[in-house]
Amino acid sequence: MTSGPTSGTSSGSRWSRERVERAAPDTASLAAARRLATPGPWSDAGATDTLVWGRCQGSGRTPYQVSVDLTGPAYRCSCPSRKFPCKHAVALLLLWSSGRLGTDGVAAAAPDEARQWAEQRAARAADAAGREARPARAVDPDAQARRRAERLRLMDDGVDDLGTWLTDLVRGGLAEARRRPYAWWDAAAARLVDAQLPGLAEHVRDVGAGLAGRDDWADHLLHEVGRWWTVVSAWRRREHLDPRTLADLRVVVGWSVPSEEVRRAEEVVDRWQVLGAHRSDDGRLQQQRTWLRGVDGGETVVLLDFAGRGQPLATARLVGSVLTGAVARYPGSPPRRALLVDEPVVADAAAPLPPGVGLDEAQSLLAHAWAENPWVRRVPVVLDPAAVSVAEGLVRDDDGATVPLLDVERPFDLAALTGGHPGRVFGELEAGGFRPLTVEPSPPGDVA
């Protein structure tokens, strides 16, 4: 498990305990880290001005190898957790900040895996700085126009091929499509990649990989085929689409907007509350979605971070914190993707979730989003009050309405945190259910 840098951080001085706690991805990780922040589980620990390392004994025979590069900061641990930093990295920093690391302060030789990781990070940073220092090459508008025309030609051919493939799929029947091996779906996706349509390729692979294991496979496949056909139809008349719909279409086919172009768009300055985050890894690409809500403006946007296999993802923002700063939004329908213009300032470390809605109103929000953008996958909602039942696989609101519980990384932690009692729950509502990301249980005195 690794994590990349978020902002320039000075090294050479010990962090305060408060600073370490702000680095924790959530309260559960911080609580677990506090329990591990004793010398007992740790061995071969040490620190220099820029690097902290140690081995933490877990339940297995082999200790976890933990390293923290203070110049990022960046975190690395051999444990399987998807949280960044994980509880072991936070615990190591708590030990270091308290002066109980053993060899802390001594420029001891770091183990090979920690030293090589830090050296590789430093080399990449130097390469990036060198690239930024080199003068930008002048853009040849004619060559740029030729490249765009060639890409559009490839995309047109790919969309036409997808239309033919969908027609054959429907003629053969959905049941026949379900019996197809994954290689059949993967071959269709590969043709879409060759046609510069990576977004569609990813959707086709996802459907092919999960179809056989779904009880609702017929409804799910029909829904996806319908979505793909709307893409084919919209692409063929893209010159007549309004700018917002065209931007939504570009997202679903995977034609990205350069970040430099987004940064030149209008900035939105607000106090942005971190509502929750979700990480996924399909074996080829890691993705991190971080949902921010403007405290003053009320708009909710999503930050997207990507990393290839074995590459570090950006450090997750602390859920509940409020960041003061500006974001630039990508074009398209809400909820819009955004990026941080500059590193924000933390104004509050633990703000409560905003008031929420019931499931009926949440479903109406999803339906409205579909009316604006038929390709949107999910909407962010706060359910209030709602109870998460891991045993039943359901989320239930105060009126008795239910929705299936989507994938949860640590379901038993969620069950222990809520105890089945209602509270405010932030998450992602999709066609197939609700994915809880942040839970704020009601105080014991409020539970009937």
pLDDT 10s digits, 373-399: 999 999 999 999 998 888 888 899 989
pLDDT at 7: 34
**How far apart are alpha carbons 193 and 207 in whole angstroms?**
16
Reported pTM: 0.70
pLDDT 10s digits, 255-303: 999 988 998 888 899 999 999 999 888 777 788 999 999 999 999 999 9
Residue from 277, 274, 292, 303 nearest 82 by CA:
277
pLDDT at 413: 73
CA 40 from centroid of its chain's CA atoms: 34
Measured distance CA(324)–CA(369) in Å, rounded:
27
> What confidence score (pLDDT) does residue 300 get?
97
Would you say 195 and 157 are in contact if contact means Cβ atoms under 8 Å apart?
yes
Annotate 1-18 with DSSP letters as a single string.
-EEE--S----SSPPPHH
374: exposed, middle or buried (C-beta count within 10 Å: 0-12, 13-18, 19+)? middle
Residue 274 CA to residue 276 CA, distance in Å, equals 6
Q: Which pLDDT score, from 0 to 100, does residue 280 have? A: 84
**pLDDT computed for residue 316 by the predictor:** 76
pLDDT at 29: 85
Q: What is the dihedral of CA 311, 314, 318, 320, to 10 degrees?
A: -110
DSSP of 100-123: -SSEEEEEPPPPHHHHHHHHHHHH
Identify the segments of the chain with pLDDT beneath 70.
1-13, 102-108, 127-139, 310, 409-411, 442-448
How much is the pLDDT for 444?
A: 53
Which of 354, 337, 341, 324 is CA-nearest to residue 289? 337
What pLDDT was estimated at residue 130?
67
Is residue 115 within 8 A of residue 347, CB to CB? The reply is: no
